[in-house]
């Protein structure tokens, strides 16, 4: 056991000396998580509010005067254009409205998602709805019919989500991804330096020649990677708590303005779990870290150089996108318990369920048991690589 700790301490010291690694592993997650949680929402919210308050140009063709007045009320400036579609494409106007053969056609740049053009299109649609309601009301009054017939009943929508899911908000499905990513990002520098890095420095042969069992060498290096992975994960969780508390309080007024008085918990993201929930996240993260560590050590040991090891390990980040896509559409699927036995996918699903307060004991046990089994298999593969001279001395 003492040899394992000595090896782990040696690997940690060689990485800790690099201030850049310490910053990216411990400081960056704390800083970046609040920005990821609230930054885009605040920026887009302010931009959307400014768009609503300011006046934008809208091209018109054949639009009646009464509709032009409704457009001005909606804070848009109608201007005549020869070709409405080209005017929008060339950004001469943010949107365009054409009236022909009894129908209105709205042009806007809608393919890029949340754009200023899309917001202006909403303004035009609101103006047309107001004009349509006005025309319908006049026709009903002309026939002696009250306008209350248009709304025979009221509709009220209430959020039935769990408290934890409401607290996580729009950021809910990304929280598991970032936790998993920081586990990998925190351990990667140590894993590469402890394997391919030692090959380049020529110190791996001396370490293997020492009277220390191979399993203890592997566990010592794995312990160092494990410590850095968990430190990075704890920093990410600290960033979540910071974003959910301090950052939310600092920008409470801006968030309130963006939401127009709605529940602030719907924006950004924060963890609102009981102690068992945090414990479940910790257990899941630890088991997943064991799996990723064994994979990184195996790939790093197989590499000839530091750069080659990085080229092997970098695609792991892309592999993480696959379960993220699965997670994004999980609400459209009827989740089966066996899904929680799929490698990588099971961890994402489990973390998502924990964050939203929907995890069951069966799902967690399946996730933990399967991840532990995959980790043991990956650890065995790493141990076999340490035993193979064609891998250890592959230069």
Pairing state of beta strands 76-80 and 56-61?
A: parallel
Assess whether 280 and 375 both reside in one domain: yes
pLDDT of 40 reads 64
Whether 49 is covered by a domain: the verdict is no
Whole-angstrom distance, CA of residue 121 vs CA of residue 76: 10
Whole-angstrom distance, CA of residue 275 vs CA of residue 237: 14
Whether 155 is covered by a domain: the verdict is no
Assess whether 116 and 199 both reside in one domain: no
Whole-angstrom distance, CA of residue 349 vs CA of residue 368: 12
pLDDT digits (tens, 9 = 90+) for 332-352: 777 788 989 998 889 988 988
The pTM of the full predicted model, rounded to 2 decimals, is 0.71
Whether 103 is covered by a domain: the verdict is yes
Cα end-to-end span (Å), the chain: 31
pLDDT of 159 reads 72
pLDDT of 121 reads 92
Counting as low any pLDDT under 70, the low residues of the chain are 1, 37-42, 44-45, 47, 112-114, 167-173, 241, 243-272, 390, 393-395
Whole-angstrom distance, CA of residue 134 vs CA of residue 385: 77
Assess whether 63 and 126 both reside in one domain: yes
Whether 299 is covered by a domain: the verdict is yes
Assess whether 282 and 330 both reside in one domain: yes
Assess whether 196 and 289 both reside in one domain: yes
Q: Is there a contact between 11 and 221 (Cβ–Cβ < 8 Å)?
A: yes
Assess whether 272 and 372 both reside in one domain: yes
pLDDT digits (tens, 9 = 90+) for 137-157: 888 888 888 878 878 888 888
As to burial, measured by CB atoms within 10 angstroms (0-12 exposed, 13-18 middle, 19+ buried), residue 328 is middle
Whole-angstrom distance, CA of residue 305 vs CA of residue 395: 8
Q: CB neighbours (10 Å) of residue 40? A: 14
> What total number of domains does the chain contain?
2
Whether 156 is covered by a domain: the verdict is no
Assess whether 83 and 19 both reside in one domain: no
Smallest Cα–Cα separation from 190: which of 155, 237, 228?
228
Assess whether 17 and 113 both reside in one domain: no
Assess whether 93 and 200 both reside in one domain: no
What is the CATH number for 82?
A: 3.40.190.10
Assess whether 255 and 341 both reside in one domain: yes
CA angle 8, 11, 17 (to 5 degrees): 130
Whether 174 is covered by a domain: the verdict is yes
Q: CB neighbours (10 Å) of residue 355? A: 29
Sheet of 103-108, strands arranged across: 76-80, 56-61, 95-100, 103-108
pLDDT of 265 reads 42
Assess whether 267 and 386 both reside in one domain: yes
Residue 97, classed as helix, strand or coil, is: strand
Whether 22 is covered by a domain: the verdict is yes
Assess whether 132 and 218 both reside in one domain: no
Domain of residue 211, residue span:
2-44+163-392
Token output for 339: 């899904």
Whether 18 is covered by a domain: the verdict is yes
Q: Is there a contact between 175 and 278 (Cβ–Cβ < 8 Å)?
A: no
């Amino acid at each position: 056991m003492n040899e394992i700790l000595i090896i782990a301490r040696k690997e940690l010291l060689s990485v800790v000396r690099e201030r850049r690694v310490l910053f990216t592993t411990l400081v960056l997650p704390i800083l970046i998580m609040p920005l990821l949680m609230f930054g885009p929402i605040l920026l887009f919210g302010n931009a959307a509010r400014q768009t609503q308050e300011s006046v934008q140009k809208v091209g018109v063709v054949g639009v009646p005067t009464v509709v032009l007045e409704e457009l001005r009320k909606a804070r848009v400036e109608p201007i005549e254009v020869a070709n409405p579609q080209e005017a929008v494409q060339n950004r001469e106007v943010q949107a365009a409205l054409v009236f022909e053969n009894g129908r209105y056609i709205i042009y806007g740049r809608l393919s890029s998602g949340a754009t200023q053009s899309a917001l202006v299109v909403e303004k035009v649609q609101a103006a047309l709805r107001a004009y349509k309601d006005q025309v319908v009301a006049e026709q009903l009054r002309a026939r002696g019919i009250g306008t209350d017939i248009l709304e025979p009943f009221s509709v009220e929508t209430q959020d039935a989500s769990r408290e934890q899911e409401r607290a996580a908000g729009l950021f809910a499905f990304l929280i598991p991804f970032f936790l998993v990513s920081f586990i990998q990002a925190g351990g990667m520098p140590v894993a590469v330096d402890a394997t391919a890095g030692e090959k380049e420095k020529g110190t791996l042969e001396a370490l293997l020649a020492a009277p220390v069992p191979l399993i203890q060498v592997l566990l010592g290096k794995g312990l160092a990677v494990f410590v850095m992975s968990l430190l990075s994960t704890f920093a990410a969780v600290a960033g979540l708590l910071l974003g959910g508390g301090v950052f939310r309080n600092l920008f409470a007024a801006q968030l309130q303005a963006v939401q127009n008085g709605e529940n602030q918990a719907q924006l950004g993201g924060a963890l609102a779990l009981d102690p068992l929930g945090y414990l479940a996240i910790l257990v899941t993260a630890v088991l997943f870290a064991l799996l990723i560590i064994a994979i990184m050590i195996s790939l790093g040991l197989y590499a000839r150089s530091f750069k080659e090891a990085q080229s092997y390990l970098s695609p792991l980040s892309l592999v993480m996108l696959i379960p993220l896509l699965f997670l994004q559409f999980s609400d459209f699927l009827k989740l089966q318990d066996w899904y929680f036995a799929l490698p990588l996918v099971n961890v994402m699903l489990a973390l998502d369920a924990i964050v939203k307060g929907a995890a069951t004991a069966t799902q967690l046990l399946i996730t933990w048991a399967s991840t532990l089994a995959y980790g043991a298999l990956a650890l065995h593969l790493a141990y076999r690589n340490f035993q193979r001279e064609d891998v250890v001395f592959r230069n």
